[in-house]
Amino acid sequence: MTIRLYDTSARQIRDFTPLVPGCVSIYLCGATVQAAPHIGHIRSGLNFDIMRRWFEYRGYDVTFIRNVTDIDDKIITKSAEQDRPWWSIGYQNERAFNDGYTALGCLPPTYEPRATGHVTEMVEMMQGLIERGHAYEADGSVYFDVRSYPQYLALSRQDLDKMIQPAEDGISGKRDPRDFAMWKAAKPGEPYWNTPFGPGRPGWHLECSAMAHKYLGSAFDVHGGGLDLIFPHHENEIAQAKAFGDAFAAYWVHNAWVTMAGEKMSKSLGNSVLVSEMVKTWRPIVLRYYLGTPHYRSMIEYSPAALREAESAFARIEGFAQRVVEKAGGVVAPAAEVPPAFAEAMDDDMGVPQALAVVHTTVRQGNSALSADDKEAAVARLAEVRAMLGVLGLDPLDPQWAGEADRGEDLHGVVDTLVRLVLQQREAARGRKDWGTADAIRDQLNQSGLVIEDSPDGPRWTLGPR
């Protein structure tokens, strides 16, 4: 068994060899909490949640760090616009992110450090870089000298002479416009921390370098994040960490975006879909299926139609599980191991689409067993399905999703009574061979969103896709 991952730095899929046998260390760039999350934000956390689950299934002890950037230019701008303390905005949106991760079934990280809690580590890193000749002070700010680090831009593969560093408002004293700020001198009315360099606040890139060093040491296995972070964020992280003396990340893994009309989902473009609003319309497990089942390196083009397709696909899996449980007369435990074809797909760069194809094939086999009244085979297939869905965080019978089933419980009894009255009328029509009336009743129920299935034990109803 060898897990393979696409390493952005190598531009190829590589065999995964952990730095410490039996252990995996992952650092994921988490939320910048200037606003509530849209589904594009949550996709990254969800993709790496699946990766973490697969490593754990394969027997690794995983340390998973997902940071919170709770101070940066965007948060300060929001604070001024809303006339609210910066920490109030950050905390509110940090809670919103965690609510989103939890709603979509993401396991909590091993540690979730906030940037503002690690200024001491940042100062130590800056002092070390200044001593080594890789950074310098100017006008109360500290800058990284990109020309002092020959491997700069190796990740994004740009030409330094043609590279333009993103603009940094109010920054002065740079020796070279391509140098980037590690520490920003305080401005009137802005938050600041007192340091040997004067009052100021950290730069975005420094935060992650310092926190990764704090929690994972000088070397760790996987650094993750969205494609948009390759430059400048991850490029600058590498420069700081390696110039400081860290080996830093052995593998760089990047997830693709959720797009709308071909553009990256972004609040600045006005095309974001907030998680808090989406879960009011769509079941969270369906959102997880929609966001988590495409390959992590593939773009997802958002549309309600695509979500409806995901809902229908998951409903087929869920319906199969419910029928087998009814047939078995009790809970069916997950199998001890996933099928080999599923494992092979997951080992190959977290190939969730290919793994999901194995799930659907197994569901079809289980439905055939149900049709043949082969209870033993149907139960065996459900056990395999539960094992596979458990790895993906999509097992509808897992207790974590129990609340979803309860959401409509108050109305379920009323609806069940009304539907059964209608079904009795349909059965009466069938009994007198009035097929036209029976079919019309079925069609009307289907139009209302109910799926009617005739079984040996009589008709049964389920909620169909929207």
The three state secondary structure string of 406-460 is HCCHHHHHHHHHHHHHHHHHHHHHHHCCCHHHHHHHHHHHHHCCEEEEEECCEEE
Can you tell me the mean pLDDT for 335-345?
98
Q: Say what the pLDDT of residue 466 is.
A: 46
pLDDT range class, residue 446, cuts 50, 70, 90: confident
The b-or-e profile of 83-106 (16+ CB within 10 A means b, else e) is eeebeebbeebbebbbebbebbbb
Q: pLDDT-derived band of residue 462, with 50, 70 and 90 as boundaries?
A: low
Cα–Cα distances in angstroms (integers) from residue 265 to residues 19, 125, 217, 276, 359, in the given order = 35, 34, 34, 16, 30
Cα separation of 226 and 173, whole Å? 31
pLDDT value of residue 431 = 81
E strands of 80-129, at which residues? Answer: none
Q: Which two tokens stand for residue 38?
A: 């849209």
CB 1 within 8 A of CB 347: yes
pLDDT-derived band at 449 (thresholds 50, 70, 90) equals: low
First to last CA, the chain: 41
Contact 49, 64 (CB under 8 A): no
Q: Are strands 300-301 and 258-260 parallel, antiparallel or unpaired?
A: parallel
| pLDDT tens string 266-323 | 877 677 799 999 999 999 999 999 999 999 999 999 999 999 999 999 999 999 999 9
CA–CA–CA angle 153, 158, 160 (5° rounding): 75
Query: What type of residue is 398?
Result: D
Query: What is the C-alpha to C-alpha distance for residues 463 and 466, in angstroms, rounded to an integer?
Result: 9
Residue 366: which residues within 8 A CB-CB, separation 6 or more?
320, 324, 377, 378, 381, 382, 385
Q: 3-state DSSP call for residue 395?
A: coil
Residue 304 CB-density burial (10 A; 0-12 exposed, 13-18 middle, 19+ buried): exposed
Paired tokens of 274: 């907030």
Q: Is the pTM higher than 0.85?
A: yes
Confidence at 455, pLDDT banded by 50, 70, 90: low
pLDDT in tens, 407-435: 444 444 555 666 776 777 788 888 888 88
Sequence-ordered list of residues with C-beta below 8 angstroms from that of 95, at least 6 positions apart, any chain = none
Residue type at 154? A
pLDDT at 327 over 50: yes
Q: Cα angle at 106 between 325 and 30, to 5 degrees?
A: 170
pLDDT at 224 over 70: yes
pLDDT recorded at residue 428: 80
Q: What percent of the chain has pLDDT over 70?
A: 92
When pLDDT is averaged across residues 155-173 and rounded to a whole number, the result is: 84
Residue 24: closest CA among 56, 70, 71, 57:
56
Average pLDDT over residues 62-81: 96
Rg (CA), the chain: 26
Cite the DSSP H helix spans in 217-336: 235-244, 275-281, 284-292, 304-328
In tens, the pLDDT along 6-37 reads 999 999 999 999 999 999 999 999 999 999 99
Rounded Cα distance, 307 and 321, in Å: 21
pLDDT of residue 417: 61
Residue 432's pLDDT is 86
Interval 43-61: pLDDT, tens: 999 999 999 999 999 999 9
Percent of the chain surpassing pLDDT 90? 80
**CA–centroid distance for 76 within its chain:** 26
Question: How do residues 310-320 score in pLDDT, each as one tens digit?
Answer: 999 999 999 99
pLDDT for the residue 426: 81
Cβ–Cβ < 8 Å for 381, 362: yes
Beta bridge partners of 349: none
182 — pLDDT class (breaks 50, 70, 90): very high
